[in-house]
Each structure stands twice: as structure tokens, then as C-alpha cells.
Structure 1
């Protein structure tokens, strides 16, 4: 641990331009949040990777930084999804101009020693922090998952601050690195049944919209699996700025001690109907079904392969995962591709330039995608269960759930 003055002194005397710039940015961040000390970190996850998001200004920043002898000093430095599947972009109809700029962005990161993993689930592909380990991650869903399910400690960094932490190995000591800020603020009594990723997405969307920020403590969740908690994390970080939650007797910090007494407010969830209604349009014909926001795990890919076995699709179905998981899931992917579906890596439906691809309507089981796509891509969205989404891909039509 180092003091603000020690880092300030180091920044003034630093000869490496990139490191000096990174230290100055982190000092400014510490000043904003009144952090008096810095802690060492050994893992970063960097967002702001898609050319669609950062544009020419972001590319120019990375181009200049990567030419200034910038090198990461942490053990794990991974990237968020970019705007293209690096192998399939041409066949998908992505403009070459966009693809070239996207590839240049990735090359800038690579020159700095960052792994071009291009996934929003770093914890599934090797960048998995230990319990109570301090890290600097910027992908909002991964931040929420790391704090809540893995019991690691990270603030919701920007892409730039996470990159600066990667270049220096430090982050300011404030926010979720401090025990006091990890205590729950709202007791959420879940009084309706939850089934599957879409229900957990709807719950996260509904609660984050209600409380905006804070640390919800969920009671009444009888059971949940890894992928459902992944979906809950993503949705909580989407409609609000929630970066951590607890689930009674399930998440690590809620297992080891009684936390609900810290809650100042209580909310009851009797139904998810309103959340589903707000995340849905009324379109029937579907141009594309997009599954995998956050990126799919092997278990999810296996489940989809069982639903698609022997089927043929009426409309496009794209599944999104990391390249590492795609390589491991070969036998399931062969079944999936026989139906006519595509399994994409490196990218995500939210950060792809789908406005070039004549896609007007999308079905998804992701609350995060359903929330962002109408504004990011100017499309109409149907949101529902995985089974409803697969049926829409097979029939080309969305059938309302009863």
C-alpha cells in the first residue's frame, strides 16, 4: 500500500511517458473520491474495446499510448468484446472499413501486453480473482459478478482507469475495496418464483431501476445456478449502477455472516410482469435471435444444442461466447451449426455495428441486451425465456409466453 504523496512523487519523477500519464490519471481519480492510499492489484479487465463505442478519438488515444512504450505490469490483463468476430466478420457483412479500425484497436492493446481475449466473462477464461483479492475491472457485469459471486474487490472502473491500473499495478483505495461499502443497503424480498436466465435478468433490471445504486440483499431466492447469477449481475449493472449484491445463504459474504440487519430499506418483489413488459416491444416477426449477453458458458451452449437438435431455423440465430469456450465446446457447436445457427466469438450483439446489417427486430433472453439495443442499435426487441427465443428462431415469429 502506498500513500497519495508517494504516488504523486513517483509520477513527477517518472521518465516513461505512458506510465507517467497513467499515474496522473489515477491520482486525479483518487482526488475525486478522496482516496488517501493506493493498493496493489494484479488483474485488470478493460472495456472500451469496440470501435463502435470508442470511435476515431478512442483509436487515436490508444494509438498514441501504445507508441509511448506502454506495457502492463499485472499478471492478468484481458479485454472486453470488440465489434467483430475476428474470423467471421466478412461473412456476416461487417464493413471492411469498420473491421480494419477494430483490428487496429486490438493491435494497440496487444502492443501494451494485453491479451485480446475479447470477452465480458474473464472469470470463465482464466482471469478469475481469488476471494478478497483487489482487482481493477471495468466491464459492468463482470464487476458485479466479481464483487458478489467471487467475493473479489473492485470498483466499477472506466476502460481508461482499468488500463491505467494495468500499466501501473495500483488502484486508489476507495469504494468496494473498503469493507464498509460492501454492506447491504436494501433488503429485497423475492416472493415470486424464478426460473432461468430471463427471470434473473428481469429481476436485476427491475431492482436496479428501483434503487439506482447501493448494495441489494436478496432473500427468498431458493436456488440459482452460476449462469443465472451471471445474468442477474449484468442486469443489475444495466438499468442502474449497482456493482454488488448479496443473496441470502448463497453468495460468499452472505454465507459467512448475518448482513441483512445493515439494510435501511425493504422492497418486495411479488411479480416480474412489469419488468417483462418494459423490456418488450410488440413486434411478431423476428430478424435475429441473439443469445449470449453476457457471453455463454459451456453449460449454456450445451443446453442450446439440446433445444436445437434436429431443428432447422426460419430466421437467424447468433450465439455469443468467448473464443476459448467456443474451442472447448466443439461437439455442442457442431449440433448447433447443423440447425443453421452461428456461434460468434470476440464480440457481442450490443457492441456490433448491426445497423449495417438490415436487422430491425431482435429476440433475446438477456435483460442487458433488451435494455441497450433499442437505443444503441435502433431495433425493436422481444425479451423472454431461452425456450421462447429458440422457438422464435425456428419459426421466425415471436409467440407470447403465457
Structure 2
């Protein structure tokens, strides 16, 4: 692999043992995938932030590192809110360990912006090279924003934060971003009335078909919240890190794409609308949780309107980034007036608070996929309107 002078100096130990080891991680990763060089990244998102997922072994590894991030870097959701974790039912031992993990990342120069939707608060431009790790954030950055990132693991993302580079392979190379699977629905007109939950259900099915391939959707229409839900679900049931939507997503409109990609000869599948509808079930649940990925401003406003004048009768968990919550205290106040709780920094999947619930209704195809294995609960998928109805009846 081609290395520049600064890389060689890091490898020789001139900038400390931690940075030397981190660069070795990136070089080894690059060699596995045939990268010829390292390229600078404009930002990094680091996973492995919840004590629930990394445990004592991960904490010990973090505490052994001695360096600081050289590019803007931030965290994935952690296992609890930083402020009101007791209100969420988090035990003292878990909280102590989680705070130690945050202290370790703070010492490494990682911003404690703990969210799966960093694109709401960090400037990401078309064509930017990133090293992001959370699956739904990777799908959104690649697909909806037209940035370029592979689906990084926790160690490789942290290495990129401390070095400022990533190996140039995979989705950093334009020719590797072309679709190899065409997906449609049997009644495209139906998608005009779909919200994020239906797009999440479509993604739940499509991800299983796509695996780690790059899908190209034809005949669907969706705004950013709907595409966020689509990509998040596909990343959960498959390993989709990039998708394109005909005439909508940015790369599907550029000349290179139009000149290099043809649906002729590509594998094509059609998903029946009835299959999407069948993902929605009807069973009793003990709690309701929304915000996986974290809610946008529009989603907060919709929820606030739906809960206006209502009182919840089941536990209702709402997840958003701390930045989003602080920017929209009025909407948060309206939501919490119903008895629902809005939590920052964490989510229903990586927090132990969900494990005790038994059964949960959500509007997220991603959560619907992850909740059984990661939290041991029975999930039910519904629209945001259905979630509010179930929580308040």
C-alpha cells in the first residue's frame, strides 16, 4: 500500500504507540480489500459506545489508548441518557460503566454527540469521504446525501478518527457504487400514501433480498424521513450500505450513473404491496417506542401533533439526539405533556431499559428487526398514528 511521509512517521512510532497501532489497523484492513492508498476523511462516527454492547473488555481496550482525534468524530447512541438515566430505570452499575466509557471517549477527543442521525447536526456534502459505522447512518450518508463511506466496525472507525484517514476501497470508489439489483413494487401508486413505517416495512423485506448488494428502486417516491426508514431497515435485515432510488437519490441523477448503469441484464425483483402490509401485525404490547433511527424535526412535530390533548396509558419511549431535543424544546414539551418520555443519547436497541418490556410496538422497520435478538422482546410494527393510538387507548 502506498504510504506518505506522515504515515511512515506514524508507523515508526514518532506519534506514539496508540497512533502506530491505529494506523496498522487501517493498513491491514486496506490490504484485505486491496486498497492502494489511504485517503483523508472529513468526519468519523464511532460505534461501540454502549456498555450493553462492548462490556468490560471494550472499556479496558479504550482505557489503554492514548491519542486524540484529528478530525471531527462523534459517537453512536450509548446505553442510557446522560442526564435522566434513573428515570429510564437504568441500574447504578450500568450507569457507572457507561460513564466510564464516555470518559474514555472524551479523553480520546471524540465528541459526545451520541446519535444514529449525525447528519442532522454535522455538515456532510455530496462526495465527502467519511468513516461512519452505524448501519442506518451509513445507508443515509451514502444514499440520500451522496457521501462515501464503507460500513466501518468500531475499531476501524476509531482508528480513522485518530489518524484522519481510511483505506480507499469499496464505496469510496465511484465504480463500486453502481447498483446490482433492481427492486420495484407491484403497485407503485400505493407508495405515494406511505409514511416512514411502510417504507421501513418495505426495507425489512428488501434487505433480506439484497443482502450486501446495492439496490436500485424504481417507481417509489419518498422524502428524507421515508428514505431514512427504508435504508435503516435494509441495513438491519441485510447489509445494505447504499441504495439508489430512480430520479430521487443524488447519484441516480448524475451523468456518470446514467452513462454507466443500465437495468438491462440486472437481477430484478418485485415486492407485492400485500407483503409489505403483512409485516404489520396486531398483537397486545406492553410499551411503545419510536425514534430508531433518532427522530427528525418533522417527526417530532408530527408526534407532538398526534399526542396533543391525549394521555398515554402505556410506557411511551421517544428517542432523539440531544441536539434535536435542545433545538425543539417546545415540541418535546408537547410530547411529554402526554406522559411520553423523550430521551437523548440512547435508543430502544442499545439500552437495557428495553429488555424488561416483554413486547414493544414501534414504527421502525430497523427496530422491528433488531428487538427480538438484541433485547429479547416481541415486536409489533405500526404507523406512528397506530403507535399513538395503542399508547393512548
Give the whole-Å Cα distance in 2 for the aligned partners of 1:162 and 1:265.
33
Equivalent runs, 1:3-402 vs 2, <5 Å:
3-4=2-3, 9-15=8-14, 16-65=16-65, 68=66, 70-74=67-71, 76-125=72-121, 127-192=122-187, 193-194=190-191, 195-221=194-220, 223-257=221-255, 258=258, 260-261=261-262, 264-271=266-273, 273-275=274-276, 277=278, 280=281, 283-284=283-284, 286-354=285-353, 358-395=356-393
Unaligned ranges ≥5, structure 1 = 396-402
Deviation at 1:19, TM superposition (A): 0.5
Deviation at 1:6, TM superposition (A): 6.1
Give the whole-Å Cα distance in 2 for the aligned partners of 1:299 and 1:54.
33
Q: Deviations over 1:4-62 (max 9, x none)?
A: 58677344312311100100111110111111111111210111100000001001111
Give the whole-Å Cα distance in 1 for the aligned partners of 2:358 and 2:385.
21
SS of the residue 1:374 aligns to: helix
CA 1:350–1:276: 2 relative to 1, 3 Å: farther
Deviation at 1:355, TM superposition (A): 5.6
Deviation at 1:106, TM superposition (A): 0.8
What TM-score, normalized by structure 1, do the two folds share?
Answer: 0.92
Give the whole-Å Cα distance in 2 for the aligned partners of 1:373 and 1:174.
32
Give the whole-Å Cα distance in 2 for the aligned partners of 1:267 and 1:240.
16
Deviation at 1:268, TM superposition (A): 1.1
Give the whole-Å Cα distance in 1 for the aligned partners of 2:365 and 2:386.
14
Name the residue aligned to 1:400. Answer: none
Q: How many residues align?
A: 384
Give the whole-Å Cα distance in 2 for the aligned partners of 1:196 and 1:219.
17
Give the whole-Å Cα distance in 2 for the aligned partners of 1:164 and 1:123.
21
SS of the residue 2:112 aligns to: coil
Unaligned ranges ≥5, structure 2 = none
- Superposition CA RMSD, Å: 1.7
SS of the residue 1:161 aligns to: helix
